[in-house]
Amino acid sequence: MSRPPIQKVTVIGAGLMGHGIAQVSAQTAGYDVSLVDVKQEFVDRGMAMIKDSLSRFVAKGFIDQAKADEVLSRIHPTLDLRGAVSSSQMVIEAATEDPKLKLDLYKRVSEFLPPGAILASNTSSISITLLASATKTPENVAGMHFFNPPQLMPLVEIIRGRKTSDSTVETVRAAAKKMDKETVLCKKDSPGFIVNRILMPSLTEATLLLEEGVADKEDIDKAVTMGLNWPMGPLKLLDYVGLDTALSIAKVITENLNDKRYKPSPLMEKMVKEGLLGRKSGRGFYDWPSPSARKS
């Protein structure tokens, strides 16, 4: 199937990842972007985070104010899922990492998609084949997994579901390239895909070291950054990812692979129950100031 060039993109979910995907789609790829969520406060918060990010790019001299204003003019916040989806050539889903929620969403979105439109999921671990099964056109569904923050991280994992067409994979790859991303292809729809399949046991082990009192959090992170040359320690990385998201990923991989290496630690479970989710909640393994405080 040959598809016309993508001009309009819809991003579903204005949260931690969604707002960044919307920004890079408008800023780097030059797409016209609808940013959709279920509540006005969520959309408003997402737009505030985009404005904050753009102001940082301006302050660092990466773009000028005119470019920032131009990017904002291409992003359209909305609560109208049908209107946004029905006018887009590509929909990128960045909703909460909950299989039931996503399946319900995919059934709804499938009703609104125009012919040939692609539905790409930013899921970190959930089966693309499963998500595609809730749609009328599973051949047009693929994984398009960005990394946090999408505005800066150069990689996109493309995941092929059981029925994903070659044309869909190539269109997603071309869109990622237009966003100035490098891509890797996960040829088999495996839980956790490539990066999280490798990463999650390390993150879990770091929380166990802390829980067992083997070392302090600062020394665990320092050991990994200096000893393994990671750009960020595992506990700080968990704060960036969000402990709730990491917990969901760990559970999905554990259940689907039946492998105890991916089982989340009791400490991670406890912190999520207490609302200590990391950077997005203000506290995790570390304390994180609000965006306004960070700018001051």
What domains, with CATH codes, occur in the chain? 8-186 (3.40.50.720), 197-280 (1.10.1040.10)
- Using CA atoms, how far residue 123 sits from 49, 61, 142, 270, in Å, is 21, 32, 10, 23
Give me the active site residues, please.
Answer: 124, 145, 157, 196
Which pTM value belongs to this model? Answer: 0.88
What pLDDT tens digit does each residue of the chain (296 aa) get? 567 789 999 999 999 899 999 999 999 999 999 999 999 999 999 999 999 999 999 999 999 999 999 999 999 999 999 999 999 999 999 998 888 999 999 999 999 999 999 999 999 889 999 999 999 999 999 999 999 899 999 999 999 999 999 999 999 999 999 999 999 999 999 989 999 999 999 999 999 999 999 999 999 999 999 999 999 999 999 999 899 999 999 998 998 888 888 899 999 999 999 999 999 899 999 999 875 444 43
Q: How many CA atoms lie within 13 A of 223 on its CB side?
A: 13
In the sheet with 141-146, reading across from the earlier edge strand, the strands are: 75-78, 32-36, 8-12, 90-93, 118-121, 141-146, 155-160, 182-186
